Amino acid sequence: MYTQVAALIFATSLVQLGNGFFTTFIALRLGIEEFSAALEGVILSAFFVGFAIGSVSCGSVIRRIGHIRGYAAFGGIAIGGTVGMALFVHPYAWVILRAAIGFGCVGLFVTTESWLNAKASPALRGRVFSIYMIGTFLALAFGQLLVGRLPLNGGDSFNIIVLLFVAALVIVSMTRAEPPILDRETPISYGEILRAAPIGVLGAATAGLISATFYAVIPSWMLANNVPQETIGVVMLSAVLGGLAFQIPVGRVSDRMDRRLLLGGLALCLALAAVTLVFLPRKLNLVLPVTAAFGGFMSTLYPVCVSHTMDHMAGKRVVSISEKLIFVSGIGSIVGPLTGAWIKSYLDLNGVLYFTAGVAILFGIGALIRAFSGPVESSAEAPFSVVAPQAQHVVPE
């Protein structure tokens, strides 16, 4: 089992390495292509359109054709979309192709995580997913380092991403792991989740909006203001590493208090970090620690929202609930780049940071109001799970 699990984790880490670089690279490449702000926002949001569609449809594909063939199909879609973007440099083509890549990537992640969830024994599941998520964070971090080392023009960067996706596809296609049989769960409606845990649903949308805005808009602003590629990569790396560093301590606190109070605190601290970046001198030694803190608060919002929602729902409908929250987060991720790109075109970076702070403050106040106006809640039902950026998919049971 260990060899099989290691192959799956390594393959998906390669995908996340490519995806982490791709996310920042495409934001920078759009600045070079000089598309309009509206088109930039649409292209950046297109990934999350495909992501959201895939989050609610790829499960049925996996059940119909199996995990290995499903992984190959989703990988082929992501690879085809990436090759297409290198061949057809046109905004409307990129909208369609970026959406296809988002669909393919979420399919790869859901296939892998449902596979690991089914094959790992209950005694080892927590450790398996911890290793998987740490591998994901590190891969995303290394992806940011590639930003300063690969060219933005031409097709070389697209080719590197394709090679990483292909390597992952080969590893999984040749694995000896027997794919699991998926059991059907009782479906659950969005209304039922919203009535049971409104803060969890609102928080998932908020987390998606803020995270997508950050990863889409911040790199393009830095490039437009002549920040060196290496520096852009380091800034984005600090946000990813901040997210990794915050996971365990926030998780421990989350399992010991009312999660709504914690969500309120995280959101308000995120807003404070965003406003601090507005007034902070643009010096790297000052920006990096604040960006790391911003990344930490941003990356822990979603997993706390998932755990809060699971506290209120029947324990055996984990995948169904997760799919719904992923979709809600995806909707926020679609709105974020569209709104952020529009605000950047009129109010520059400070407008985007104020927008981010405003959204976080509204959510934080809402979470605190619910916490103080309702009964005290226990957090024992659904322990916190580490969830990496761009990997917010099937939560382990």
Q: What is the CATH number of the domain that holds 54?
A: 1.20.1250.20
Query: How much is the pLDDT for 395?
Result: 38
| Residue 54, domain member (yes or no) | yes
Indicate whether 396 belongs to any domain. Answer: no
pLDDT of res. 2: 66
Task: Tokens for 107, please give them.
Answer: 């399919």
User: Using an 8 Å Cβ cutoff, are 126 and 248 in contact?
Assistant: no
- Would residue 75 count as lying in a domain? yes
Q: Which two tokens stand for residue 140?
A: 């995303």
Residue 96: inside a domain, yes or no? yes
Give, to the nearest 10 degrees, the angle between helix 229-254 and helix 122-146.
Answer: 160
Token pair in block for residue 248? 């365990």
In a domain, 379, yes or no: no
| The pTM of the whole model exceeds 0.85 | yes
Q: What is the Cα–Cα distance from 172 to 193, expressed in whole angstroms?
A: 34
What pLDDT does 55 receive?
84
Cα–Cα dist 21/81, whole Å: 15
310, 382 contact by CB (below 8 A): yes
Residue type, 200: G
Res 281: pLDDT: 94
Domain assignment present for 393? no
**Average pLDDT along the chain, 397 residues, taken 10 residues at a time:** 79 93 94 88 94 86 85 95 96 96 92 75 67 85 90 93 94 72 68 89 95 94 92 95 90 86 97 97 95 95 87 65 83 94 93 98 96 67 55 40
Q: Do 283 and 235 touch, CB atoms closer than 8 A?
A: no
Q: Which pair of tokens denotes residue 266? A: 């995280």
Domain assignment of residue 235, yes or no: yes
Separation in Å, CA 246 to CA 241, 305, 331: 9, 15, 25
CA separation for the pair 265, 71 (Å, rounded) = 39
Number of domains in the chain: 1
Residues in the chain: 397
* Structural domain of 209: 2-373
Question: Could you give the CA distance from residue 352 to residue 356 in angstroms, rounded to a whole number?
Answer: 6
C-alpha 307/C-alpha 382 separation (Å) is 5
Contact, 355 vs 343, CB < 8 A? yes
381 occurs within a structural domain: no
Which pair of tokens denotes residue 53? 């569609």
SS3 for 39?
A: helix
Please tell me the predicted confidence (pLDDT) of residue 392.
46
